[in-house]
Structure 1
Amino acid sequence: MAHEIRQDMRLSQQLVMSPQLQLAIKLLQLSRLELEELVIEELENNPVLEEEAGAGEGGEISVSKREEREVDWEAYLENCYERPLGRSFAEESEEYSLEATLTKKPTLSEHLMWQLHLSPFTPEETLVGEFIIGNIDEDGYLRFGEDSGDETAYLKSITQEIANAVGINEDIVESTIRKIQQFDPVGVCSRTVRECLLIQVKFLGCDDPTVEEIINHHLNHFEKKNYKAVAAALKIPIDKVLDAVKFIVGLNPRPGSAYGQSEATVIIPDIFIHKIGGDYVVLLNENGLPKLRVSSYYRTLISQNGRGSAETKAYVQEKLRAAKWLIQSIQQRQRTIYKVTLSILKFQRDFFDSGTCYLKPLILRDVAEDIGMHESTVSRVTTNKYAHTPHGIFELKYFFSAGVNRDDGTGVASKSIMEKLKNICEIEDANKPLSDQKIADLLRKSGINIARRTVTKYRETMGILSASGRKKLF
């Protein structure tokens, strides 16, 4: 087949996103913290941008504060030994705050290492101990591979693997494991749940043979709260089994959990929704966000066609354009968040008046049509954005939920149903907890017609145990 070169014309349409549109979309999906970081970065990189501030008064105040804080070193040296240790917080100051004195909570690994280096271990034991502590998980367990069901073989395989890794005798490895298991928290470095519980039983000095018998041979019945089967297997009264169960329940099967918890994250809301009188007011949270403006110096430089090469002028023009785009995009972002919040407030008015149980079904399309925007825009706006409401702080995504129809034809959100289910489980008789079918019957009486399997799905989503798991015998 002969090859030939020819020209032809084709007409097509395609969406081309301008840099300004790309920036606006990027800012929409940023969280508040990410936006602050981006603004600070732009202030550092773009000389045309500057932060609005009271230049005259700010300068005078800073100078006066500096003068007030001039230190009289002679007087300080004379009286330094008369002052109490530590810092006095009697006078409030923005520069020094109590939060700045908070220290980081030690991790489980750091806590164990500290005890290891304070203990009279030999150099070989210290080497093994450091390797073991480095392989303890956040629950406090020393796990290697998978437990095949033979606990004795599993424990021996862990010892052998550590011995091969550090090149030290298995007896020294096993001895080191036993010593670390006596560290705080008690039961740490256990290889199985059974070993962890038995270590704690021995540490607490419990001499009840029923406790050890249940832990050694009847943990499966214990987990299912099948105490009658335990009593039948041990041929003892049920009351004696319940006494042993009370003791076992007080043990900690996850000794490292106290150190594995992540620190609380502080959420700064983007929107405040306040109820004033009988109406609600929506306020944007502008605190912490630098107020930007274009530098008057560079604006004048451009308008007066001042000196400089063509390359310099092009650079300033580019930075000026980028600064204006950023300022406009931030303002557009704030306006969009405000519009979406007002629309959510209109659709979910019952929630703001009465609480979570009155949350209605709402989808992105409803809000998008209400404010005249695309669903993808609403999705970006509601991601990682938080609103402070009379009932707490909620992510804007929280107000969107599928639902079911009541018997009267009105809709109810799935989150509202889950809240009702949670309330039912909280007020039920702990000695006779309700089954999923009975909970479904109660919800049906209130007009919410859902199946038993739906109740099960919602219950498991919230981490609520089944009726047998919620039952309390003592």
Structure 2
Amino acid sequence: MKIDLRHELKLTLAPALIESLKILQLPRVELQQLVRQQLEMNPFLEDVLEEEVEAEEELETTAEEPETTAEEPQEDESSEATDEEKNLEDFDWEEFLQNGVDPGYRPQPDRDDRFQEKVAVTVPTFSDYLMTQLRLQRLPDEDLVIGEFIIGNLDDDGYLVCSIEEIAQILEVSDEDVERVLRIVQTFDPIGIGARDLEECLIIQLRERGLGDSLQARMVTDHLRDIQNRKHSKIAKALGVSVSEVREAVQDITSLEPKPGRRYSTEDVRYVVPDVSIELIDGEHTVFLNERDVPHLRIGAAYRDVLDGSRKASKEERTFVMDRLKAARFLLKGLEQRRTTILKVMRYIVETQNGFFNRGIAHLAPMTLRDVADGIGMHESTVSRVVQDKYVETPHGVFEMRYFFSGGVRTQTSVAISTHSVKARIAELIEKEDKRRPLSDRKVVELLKSEGMLVARRTVAKYRDELHILPARLRKEL
């Protein structure tokens, strides 16, 4: 085997830069978790309270006043240094390094440390709600087992996801027993649960209303697809009734719940905490970084004696101090770079999207990541990290930062407008349309063209689907 020596150049990222990029793309909630974790791990990081920051600012202001003499602060510094030296002589480094507790931290006397009892709250699930109704039926133990198995095989919408034969085979009971218990479960609240398909779900609800043998039930059984496609004339001809009767029956059917279990969904509500707030102050939009619950950090002073040699320390202790000090500096530098970069990007967005902030979504201008990167002198990937998973609170609501980046649509005046503006206009046109004569995609194209927007019909259909708007034939109301 031959051994060769080669020279090659590689581009690698420094550890500090890697940490800085990680911090940059963190949203506010994850940043808060990271900072609190580092506070617990690194003994040289201190949480600076707002009261301390205000006190330091007042001291700086007082120091700048001309009436202050130079001799008084020298006496204070010497006395403080003497006190600090005494404290360091009594300081146990071994205990400090083992416990990892910041010796500079002192509980604040005015801090609200009142005990607040944490009470665990159990929210009953959809299955628990059905199980309670099952146990109130006073059924034999064999039927209770079947009922519990049926409830355990309902999906989030309340539909039975396995067949009668499968349940009977697993529980080693007859199909008739399973059918009998299933009919009992189908009487539980909400009405319609335990159905095997949409047709059975609607029939159960009609039967509960006393319409089991009605025109509505026949339409659901034989013409469910025609109801969805609004073919009322075809249904009337097939059932030998008038079109007006079919329309009245359709109104009753549309009042039923196709997914009876969804109102008992246990899905947690996702709350959005904006990372940036934009407020109108004195006629100008001002950008504020939301760091309300993120601890403000500083590096403690207890490490200095080990580094300058005034305090004897072993090599392991000095290595520990240097490692923790570097980590603390990397974190503080990364936090400051995150703060300045986010503000720089958001201020450029506010300046570029001035029409949006002053007049609304209809005046959103097309903008790309490259436009922002060129405008602020940063790389496109850096801008992408800034806007990733972050939200901004504006006078028009809370938006994802990526919302402000979109392609453009040509206009007759050769001035591109944002696709978000086009979508907003399409939604507005359809909302104001005559429901008896809804606008087709071609008609929407014509209306947009009359307003100077050049959009193809397939583009309108694409935007309409993204807005979850039905086609014209399904929006028609008779």
TM range, smaller chain: 0.7 to 0.9
Where does structure 2 lack aligned partners over 5 or more consecutive residues? 53-104
Q: Distance in 2 between matches of 1:452 and 1:219?
A: 30
Corresponding residue SS for 2:398: strand
8 Å contact from structure 1 (residues 124, 168) kept in 2? no
Among candidates 321, 325, 328, match of residue 320 of structure 1: 325
Letter in 2 for 1:183: F
Could you list the per-position Cα deviations for residues 132-178 of structure 1 after superposition, in whole angstroms to 9, with x for gaps in the alignment? Answer: 2222111111123xxxxxxxxxxxxx101111222332222212211
Q: Does 1:60 align with 2:65?
A: no
2:350 to 345, 351, 357: 345
How many equivalent residue pairs? 425
Match of residue 11, structure 1, among 1, 7, 24: 7
Query: Which range moved further: 375-384 or 123-132?
Result: 123-132
Distance, in Å, in 1 between the alignment partners of 2:122 and 2:415 is: 51
Residue 31 to residue 347, structure 1, CA distance change in 2 (3 Å)? same
Q: Does 1:226 align with 2:231?
A: yes
| Corresponding position of 1:44 | 40
- 2:31 match: 35
- Looking at structure 2, the residues matched to 412 and 306 of structure 1 have their Cα atoms a distance apart, in angstroms, of 67
Q: How big is the shift at 1:301?
A: 3.6
Are 1:134 and 2:152 matched, yes or no? yes
**Stretch of structure 1 that moved more, 403-412 or 100-109:** 100-109
Higher mean C-alpha displacement, 100-109 vs 335-344: 100-109
State the secondary structure of the residue aligned to 1:61. Answer: coil
Structure 1 residue 204 displacement after superposition? 1.3
Alignment check: 8 A CA contact 1:106 1:259 kept = no
Letter in 1 for 2:391: Y
Unaligned runs of 5+ in 1: 70-94, 145-157
Following superposition, the deviation at residue 442 of structure 1 comes to 0.3
Show CA shifts across 1:417-454 (max 9, x none): 00000000111111111111001100011111111111
Cross-structure match for 1:386: 391
CA contact (8 A) 2:28 2:291 kept: no
Q: C-alpha deviations, 1:397-418, integer Å up to 9, x for none?
A: 0000012111101011111100
Is the counterpart of residue 260 in structure 1 residue 278 in structure 2?
no
Asked if the contact 1:140–1:190 (Cα under 8 Å) also holds between the matched residues in 2, the reply is yes
Q: 1:393 to 1:263 in 2, by over 3 A?
A: same
Partner of 1:192: 197
Amino acid at match of 2:32: E
1:159 and 2:164 aligned: yes
Q: Which amino acid in the other structure matches residue 18 of structure 1?
A: A
**Equivalent residue for 1:289?**
294
Distance 2:305 2:392 in 1: 41
Kept after mapping to 1: 8 A contact 2:410/2:417: yes
| 1:305 Cα offset (Å) | 4.7
The answer (yes or no) to whether the contact 1:187–1:199 under 8 Å persists in 2 is yes
> After the TM superposition, which residues 21-32 of structure 1 pair with which residues of structure 2 at under 5 Å, given as runs?
21-32=17-28
* Coordinate RMSD, CA, aligned: 2.1
- Pair 331,103 (structure 1): closer, same or farther in 2 beyond 3 Å: same
> Partners of 1:212 and 1:370 in 2: how far apart?
64
Q: For residue 67 of structure 2, what is the aligned residue in structure 1? A: none
1:117 aligns with 2:153: no
How far the C-alpha of 1:264 sits from its partner, in A, is 2.6
Which of 371, 374, 381 is equivalent to 2:376? 371
Q: CA separation in 2, counterparts of 1:448 and 1:17?
A: 46
SS in 2 for 1:106: coil
Aligned pair in 2 of structure 1 residues 31, 249: CA closer, same or farther (>3 Å)? same
Identity of aligned residues (%): 39
Which stretches of structure 1, 4 residues or longer, exceed 3 Å deviation after superposition?
54-58, 100-106
User: How has the CA–CA distance of structure 1 residues 118 and 292 changed in structure 2, closer, same or farther, with 3 Å as cutoff?
Assistant: farther
